[in-house]
Each structure stands twice: as C-alpha cells, then as structure tokens.
Amino acid sequence: EQPFFKEALPILQALETAGYEAYFVGGAVRDFILNRTVHDVDIATSALPDEVKSVFLHTVDVGIEHGTVLVLLDGRGYEVTTFRTEEAYSDFRRPDEVIFVRSLRDDLKRRDFTMNAIAMAADGQLVDPFDGQRDLNDGIIRTVGDASERFSEDALRMMRAARFISQLSFELDLKTLQAMIDHAPLLSHIAVERKLNEMDKLLSGSDKAAGLSLLIQTGLFAFLPGLSGQKAALEQVAVLPLQSLNADQMWLLLADKTAGRHITDFLRDWRMAGKRVKRIEKGVRTLNRVRAEGWHDVLLYEAQLETAVDCAEVVAVLDGKTSISKDLISRWHGLPIKSRDELDVTGSDLLAWTEKPRGIWIKECLELTEKAVINREIKNTKENIKEFLLSCNLL
C-alpha cells in the first residue's frame, strides 16, 4: 500500500469505531489501482459533517455546505466528505442543492466517470458498482450512467474527460464521445476558473496531443476563451511532439500560435493570475525576439534563465529540433552579470561622479553600462565603468 493511504487509515478507523461507514474515494483510488502516484486522498463517509467534527479533535470547515470537513492528523489535512447526491442541475453546472445520504452507492452514482466511482474500505476491499475496474483495465473513460444526462447536469465533466485523456492516454467510450459532440455548447455555461483548472491539467498531461485533439474533435475548443476561431491553429499544435513541455510552456505555445498581437487579452480571458500573465507575455515577447535576432547574451540576460529555457523548449518543438536549453543554461552561467544589482556601480555612484542633477540620464547610463558589461566590452569594476562613461561623454 502507498504511504498516503496508510497515513489516512486512522481516519477511516475512527469513523468506523464511531459507527459510521468510511471509504477512500475518487482520484486516489483510481491512481492507486493504476499504480500511479497518489497525491491526496479523499474520504467519503456516512457521517454528517457535524458528526465528523465530533469524532475528531482537530477539524476545519472548508466546505461544510458541500459536506466537506478537513480533518487534521499528524500535520496533514484530509478532506472528509459526507455521502451525498446532487439534485436539480438547472443551469448545466453545479447542483442547486446538495442532499446528504447514508448510502455509499448513491454517492458513487453522482461521480463523473466509472474509474472515479470506486471506493476502497480500510481493509482494502473495493466497492465498484459501475465496473470502474474493468474500464481502468481496458483504458476506457465512460460516464456513470447516461452520458448526455451527466454532461447536461455539469458540462465541466466534458473537459474533465479531455484532461483525463491527456493524463492517462485512455480512450473515450463511444457513447461518451458522442454525447460530448452533442453537448459541447453547454460548456459556455461553465465558469472560466473551472475551465482553466482542467485546461492546466490537460496541458500538464503526458498525452497533451490526444487531449487537444479531443477538444477539436468534439468542438469543445469553440467554447474555451480565445480559442473559438482557432481550429486550424489548434490542429497545428496538436500534431507537434508536445511531451517535453510543461503547462506554462504549452500556454506560451498556444498564445504564440493563436493570439497574434492580443496575448494579454487571451491570457486575461482565461482569468490567469497577473504574475502568470506577465511571465507568459514575457515569453512570447522573447520568442519573437529570438526569431528576429537569434540568441545573444543581451537577449539571454534580458529574458532571464527561466524565460530563456521556456522559449528554447518551445522553439525546439516548433522546429522539430533538439532543444538548445542546455547550451543556454551554461551560457547563462557564464554571463558577467545576471542582473543590474550585480553591476559594480549604482545610480548614487553616477551622481557622485558629476554635478548633474538626478534625471533619466542615470537609467540610460546604467542600461548602456549593463550592455557593455554583458558584451564584455568593459570589466564590471567601478574604474572601468567610470572610464567607459567618460569616454562616451556621459559624465
């Protein structure tokens, strides 16, 4: 057994001792059966949230309205969720009402795919009313129950299917696939934050091309921010050897291929965090400069290492060549300075050397000095820099 389950076992046992049922459920059980790394274990129980709280000393109300209580044990938090069904989806997204139930089967029935609807008891016994193990074994993603109904209840499930395709390299059950094609437009009701979360997982998977191809094949792409008119561009991306790219490099590639001059709008439409938008924008700008100028030390310095590597990886994939990121990394380590604060002079030095008042000239001098140092035209010492600036008539 994997350590995660072992560590969480006392939680199941405590609930059982108190007279309730409790199981591991969801992705952890799926990944355990697949022999993949288990990240976090979810626990489902017949105990109501207040009952869960009375069983454990340390709990946090993280989503009590959905029945989830965080149980703290040995410095770790475990989500314990009361068995529930979801009634009346009136707007193709989350349920209007959560109804707590005492039956495990009813809880498993509301889950999206058969492979995600398997429960594991404390003794390792599996409860698998929808033949999830068979589908795991065959590598098939199949909805629990009628696919059209399940996607109409919550359209995000269609994106989840695509990201599992990317993560697991599974095939879609034919009825599930047909229902995705039929119901793709329902995705427009889903909050962008939820779409981004699944898209990030799709773009981190080992079979990104398959995930993207499915978005194209089903028409789901047309209901994703900034991608509706981008079928041809997506098709070009989906045939590239994408395995080596991480999610941010994939976003860089997508932005480059689809967004033209509207990179910021594209990323903001996906409601990405500001920092991330800035990082990807910088990547696209650097990518364009690499194409125009080729790599040189000043560009490498201005890009900084992380962006340079991202660009090198993306360029390698686009050109079908091996990545030069290793060369860039050693070149980076050989740069005379890595950032402006490594310069041997500061603005105050410049002010001390002249009678001139503060002004934009300081910034200009520092930039010129930086470039000269990077290009090894001068050494990074006060005397050399002063001499250089004097020779340029800047002091």
Q: Which residues are at the interface with ligand ATP (CB under 6 A)?
A: 26-27, 42, 111-112, 116-117, 154, 156-157, 201
Please, is 124 exposed, middle or buried when counting C-beta atoms within 10 Å of its C-beta (0-12, 13-18, 19+)? exposed
Q: Does 63 bind Mg ion (CB under 5 A)?
A: no
Q: Are 92 and 186 in contact (CB under 8 A)?
A: yes
Q: Are 234 and 240 in contact (CB under 8 A)?
A: no
Residue 111 site contact among Mg ion, ligand ATP, none (CB < 5 to 8 Å, cut-off depends on kind): ligand ATP
Helix (H, G, I), strand (E, B) or coil at 52: helix
Is 42 annotated in some ligand binding site? yes
Q: How far is the CB of 113 from Mg ion (least distance, A)?
A: 13
Cβ-based nearer residue to ligand ATP, 27 or 63: 27
- Residues facing 120 on adjacent strands: 24, 126
Handedness of CA 276, 282, 286, 287 (dihedral sign): positive
Stretch of 21-29, 52-60, 68-76, 165-173 lying at the interface with Mg ion (CB under 5 A) = 21-29
Is 173 annotated in some ligand binding site? no
Q: Which residue is nearest to ligand ATP (CB)?
A: 27
Q: How far is the CB of 44 from ligand ATP (least distance, A)?
A: 9
Residue 157 site contact among Mg ion, ligand ATP, none (CB < 5 to 8 Å, cut-off depends on kind): ligand ATP
Q: How far is the CB of 66 from ligand ATP (least distance, A)?
A: 11
Residue 112 site contact among Mg ion, ligand ATP, none (CB < 5 to 8 Å, cut-off depends on kind): ligand ATP
The crossing angle, in degrees rounded to 10, of helices 305-319 and 274-293 is: 60
Q: How far is the CB of 79 from Mg ion (least distance, A)?
A: 9
Is 30 annotated in some ligand binding site? yes
Q: Are 168 and 34 in contact (CB under 8 A)?
A: yes
Amino acid at 189: H
Two tokens at 36?
């993949």
Which of 10, 14, 27, 323 lies at the binding interface for Mg ion (CB under 5 A)?
A: 27
- Per-state percent for the chain, helix, strand, coil, to nearest 5: 55, 10, 30
Spatial distance between the Cα atoms of 70 and 92, rounded to a whole number of angstroms: 28
Residue 49 site contact among Mg ion, ligand ATP, none (CB < 5 to 8 Å, cut-off depends on kind): none
Is 327 annotated in some ligand binding site? no
Q: Are 37 and 31 in contact (CB under 8 A)?
A: yes
CA 133-166-42 angle, to 5 degrees, is 50
Cβ-based nearer residue to ligand ATP, 27 or 219: 27
Is 111 annotated in some ligand binding site? yes
Cβ-based nearer residue to ligand ATP, 101 or 318: 101
Q: How far is the CB of 202 from Mg ion (least distance, A)?
A: 15
Stretch of 26-34, 135-143, 305-313, 339-347 lying at the interface with Mg ion (CB under 5 A) = 26-34
Stretch of 19-27, 139-147, 182-190, 247-255 lying at the interface with Mg ion (CB under 5 A) = 19-27
Q: Are 34 and 27 in contact (CB under 8 A)?
A: no
Is 142 annotated in some ligand binding site? no
Q: Are 193 and 271 in contact (CB under 8 A)?
A: yes
109: number of Cβ within 10 Å: 16
Helix (H, G, I), strand (E, B) or coil at 238: helix
Q: How far is the CB of 193 from ligand ATP (least distance, A)?
A: 13
Is 76 annotated in some ligand binding site? no
Residue 336 site contact among ligand ATP, Mg ion, none (CB < 5 to 8 Å, cut-off depends on kind): none
Of the candidates 89, 93, 90, 96, the one whose C-alpha atom is nearest the C-alpha of residue 66 is: 96
Residue 219 site contact among Mg ion, ligand ATP, none (CB < 5 to 8 Å, cut-off depends on kind): none
Helix (H, G, I), strand (E, B) or coil at 97: strand
Q: How far is the CB of 329 from ligand ATP (least distance, A)?
A: 31
Written as one string, the DSSP assignment of 119-139 is EE-TTS-EE-TT-HHHHHHHT
Cβ-based nearer residue to ligand ATP, 26 or 67: 26
Cβ-based nearer residue to ligand ATP, 155 or 312: 155
Q: How many CA atoms lie within 13 A of 301 on its CB side?
A: 21
Residue ranges for the known binding site are 27, 30, 40, 42, 111, 154, 157, 160, 163
Applying CB under 5 A, the residues found at the interface with Mg ion are 27
Residue ranges for the known binding site for ATP are 27, 30, 111, 154, 157, 160, 163
Residue ranges for the known binding site for CTP are 27, 30, 111, 154, 157, 160, 163
